[in-house]
Amino acid sequence: MDKDQVQQEPMSFDEAKSIVKEALAAKMPAYTVEERKELMARMDRRVERMNREEGEVEETAREHEEEATALTNVEEKSADFIEAREEAVAAREKEVAAQEEELAAEKKAMDWGGRVAYRAVIVAGEEFGPSVDRGGEREKRKQSVKKLRAMVEKSGHRDRLPKEDPE
């Protein structure tokens, strides 16, 4: 049949059916019942394999997601731990700095106290000359000097006491 003929005359159903059968037969070989069963079984196996592979892919994706979540949790925990540790270190550094300031202030007070006691002993001792005796005051001052010496020795500034004993 020619192209012009198809357009000009209407085709009957049987003719159309035969043309389609011829076209299909040319493109697709005829299968026997056994070949069709085998083909269907092959297609079923292929579908099963594809489903299995899809399931494996999904499972692998799920495992990767779980691993990523676990890693994220570990990173968050380690970041929290590191942050907490840094805060603890900073707090400890502040505490140490406060203790150092306190020790420096205490040392300064001890040094100042030692100098004051040293000067008091010197001043009290200078007043004890052989010519100075004001009616019993000498004995009182000796007692004061002994008390001051004891205070200086207790404070740990023994090295600041005068070398000579003013007695």
Per-residue pLDDT of the chain (167 residues; tens, 9 = 90+): 555 554 556 677 778 778 877 776 666 666 677 877 888 888 888 888 888 888 888 888 889 888 888 888 888 888 888 888 899 999 999 999 988 888 887 777 666 656 666 666 656 555 555 445 555 666 777 777 787 777 777 776 666 666 555 44
What pTM was estimated for this model as a whole?
0.31
Question: In sequence order, which residues have a C-beta less than 8 Å from that of residue 115 and are 6 or more positions away?
Answer: 160
Q: How confident is the model at residue 138, as a pLDDT?
A: 66
Q: How confident is the model at residue 113, as a pLDDT?
A: 59
Nearest to 73 by CA among 62, 61, 81: 81
Q: How confident is the model at residue 9, as a pLDDT?
A: 65
Q: How confident is the model at residue 43, as a pLDDT?
A: 85
Question: In sequence order, which residues have a C-beta less than 8 Å from that of residue 118 and are 6 or more positions away?
Answer: 152, 157, 160, 161, 162
